A = this chain, B = another copy of it.
Amino acid sequence: MARKPADQAVHRDDIIAAAADVLRENGYDATTMKDIASRVNLTAASLYHHFRNKDFLLLAVLELGLAEATTQIEPIAASDAPASDKLCQMIEAHIVNVTDNPTVGAAMVFEIKSLMNVSTAGRGNGNRKEYIERRDAFFELRDHFERLFRDTIKQGITDGEFREVEPAIVAKAMLGSQNWVGVWYKPDGRLTGRDIAAIHMDYVLTALKKN
Give me the interface of A with B, judged by CB distance under 8 Å: 26-30, 109-110, 112-114, 117, 119-120, 163, 165-166, 169-170, 172-181, 183-184, 191, 196, 199-200, 202-204, 206-208
Contact between chains at A172 and B176 (CB < 8 Å): no
Q: How many copies does the complex hold?
A: 2
Kindly state the separation between the CA atoms of A179 and B174 in the bound complex, as whole angstroms. 12
Question: Contact: A27 with B113, CB < 8 Å?
Answer: yes
**Which listed residue (B165, B199, B207) contacts A169, Cβ 8 A?**
B199
Q: How far is the CB of A175 from chain B (nearest CB, A)?
A: 7
On chain B, the residues within 8 Å of A117 by CB distance are 26-27, 30
Residue of B nearest to A29 (CB): B29
CB pair B203–A173 under 8 Å, yes or no, is yes
